[in-house]
Amino acid sequence: MDKRPIGVFDSGLGGLTAVRELRRVLPGETIVYFGDTGRVPYGSRSRDTIIQYAKQDIAFLLSQNVKYIMAACGTVSSILPAEVSGRLPVPYTGVLEAAARAAAKATCIRRIGVIGTAATIRSGSYERLLRALLPDVQVYTRACPMFVPLVENGYLGAGNPITTAIAEEYLAPIRSAGVDTLILGCTHYPLIADVIGKVMGPGVTLIDPGRETADATRTLLAARGLLAEGAGGARYYVSDSIEGFTSTANAFMGRYAGGTVAQIAIDDYELEPQE
């Protein structure tokens, strides 16, 4: 039993889809969430900038005495080198490994699609993980840079004509490749899973990395004796104004379910070098 909170971060509010899943599988945990709303998006930035931002996000969560950190961001999970996370004082995970494992299990024909931000797709990280799990897998990838702004601006819902038109354009080559499994490689994308599912058709299984990682988190915390069984709760922090947070959080999590919200100065945080 460890009552310290779980730390979760994302470049913005897409990571709240992972918080939704964490609260479902671990209702007794307290979650501290940081959304870097002042610097979103990360996905179009350079590798060095993404690493610098991610280290500051981690430093902030460590200042909150968290027992575990989850990068609920496909972009950070693809880029942050394992050696950095290996030196942290608490367990750390991204959202890639659990998603890749779930996709490898779901595919019957060994043809998997991956969509994500430009940085995630450029990193080739999903292909490497999938090939390690299924050496003869065919992987088809596509960066979908307009999905994040569409989600952040509320262009949600299966019938949304703009999101549907853009999804048709982005997903056409992956659909033609005949995949039976598609990884939603950015934590914003589960919010438009209904549109993506409609475009891809009923024979394609969609993998939500936040959901898969929430399940893996439960297993990890249990194995290390770190589970809490309290009343549960959440504290949210953002790097831009908190205005509108509650309504966005409601839309992203289904229900916001309470929790304090505060703005922090993320530039004040630096990751201390670990020996």
Return the structure tokens found at 149: 């702004």
- Note whether 210 binds ligand DGL by CB under 6 A: no
The DSSP-derived string for 107-136 is -SSSEEEEEE-HHHHHHTHHHHHHHHH-TT
Among the listed residues 21, 10, 6, the one whose alpha carbon sits nearest the alpha carbon of residue 64: 6
Cβ of residue 272: shortest distance to ligand DGL, in angstroms?
A: 25
- By the rule CB under 6 A, 40 interacts with ligand DGL: yes
Looking up tokens 């549960």, which residue turns up? 232
Q: Which part of the chain contacts ligand DGL (CB under 6 A), choosing from 10-18, 104-112, 158-166, 235-243?
A: 10-18
Place of tokens 């897409």: 14
Instruction: Report the nearest approach of ligand DGL to the CB of residue 273 (Å).
Output: 26
Asked about 73 being catalytic, the answer comes back as yes
Rounded Cα gap, residues 73 and 60, in angstroms: 16
CB-nearer residue toward ligand DGL: 46 or 65: 46
74 binds ligand DGL (CB under 6 A): yes
* 69 touches 92 (CB < 8 A): yes
Position 212 contacts ligand DGL (CB under 6 A): no
* 148 is an interface residue for ligand DGL by CB under 6 A: yes
- Give the count of beta carbons closer than 10 Å to the beta carbon of residue 164: 19
Give residue number: closest CB to ligand DGL.
Answer: 43
Nearest to 112 by CA among 130, 95, 124: 130
Stretch of residues binding ligand DGL (CB under 6 A), selected from 70-78, 84-92, 127-135, 251-259:
70-78
Residue 94 as a binder of ligand DGL (CB under 6 A): the answer is no
Q: What's the angle, vertex CA 125, arms to CA 123 and CA 92, rounded to 5?
A: 110
Nearer to ligand DGL, 43 or 259 (CB): 43
x-marked contacts with ligand DGL along 100-119 as a string, rule CB under 6 A: -----------------x--
Compare residues 26 and 148 and give the one whose CB is closer to ligand DGL. 148
Nearest residue to 144 (alpha-carbon basis) of 14, 9, 20: 14
Q: Which DSSP symbol is given to 145?
A: T
Rounded to whole angstroms, how far apart are CA atoms 192 and 7? 25
Give catalytic residues, as residue numbers. 73, 186
Contact residues for ligand DGL (CB under 6 A)? 10-12, 14, 40-43, 73-75, 117, 120, 148, 186-188
